[in-house]
Amino acid sequence: MNAGKILLVEDNPDDVALTMRALKSHNITNDVIVAQDGVEAIDYLFGTKGRPAPTDLPAVVLLDLKLPKINGMEVLQRIRADERTRLLPVVILTSSDEERDIIDGYSLGANSYVRKPVDFVEFTKAAQQLGLYWLLMNRTPPPPRGP
């Protein structure tokens, strides 16, 4: 059982910095791995030619929807399509509160949908709650047996 890492898929460096700060300020010390676009996220989870996939999956993926190259919905689809990551907890963390995005996200198997508040105080609260919930309270499924 992994101590718990967070895979933050976010292309906006400001949002990355603010998210990191929010998590840190609430003593959530877990490693945060940042993927700046969909391709990076996929490469991290499934490995590339140069680098193999990690032995431990993150405890949770915080997934932005609007990403360069491969967007968040497609990343989610790929995660759910693969046997190794089928049960990986994915939280959509986005600016959008379009109904369509919420429905699509849940349809593709997202575990949660959180809208980023503009108010940083609110944002910090949200990040803290997410960290606490997914890293400490939530029980992740056991890793699938390798081939």
Residues that bind other proteins (CB under 8 A): 12, 14-15, 18, 21, 65-66, 94-99, 116-121, 123
Taking the least distance from each CB to other proteins, the nearer of 85 and 94 is 94
Amino acid at 86: R
Query: Least CB distance from residue 118 to other proteins, whole Å?
Result: 4
Query: Least CB distance from residue 120 to other proteins, whole Å?
Result: 4
How far is the CA of 102 from the CAs of 13, 91, 107, in angstroms?
Answer: 24, 11, 8
Burial of 121 (0-12, 13-18, 19+ CB in 10 A): exposed
Taking the least distance from each CB to other proteins, the nearer of 123 and 133 is 123
Taking the least distance from each CB to other proteins, the nearer of 40 and 101 is 101
Angle at 75 between CA 72 and CA 78, to 5 degrees: 155
Q: Are 60 and 7 in contact (CB under 8 A)?
A: yes
Taking the least distance from each CB to other proteins, the nearer of 56 and 122 is 122
Three-state secondary structure call for residue 125: helix
Query: Least CB distance from residue 11 to other proteins, whole Å?
Result: 10
Query: Least CB distance from residue 96 to other proteins, whole Å?
Result: 5
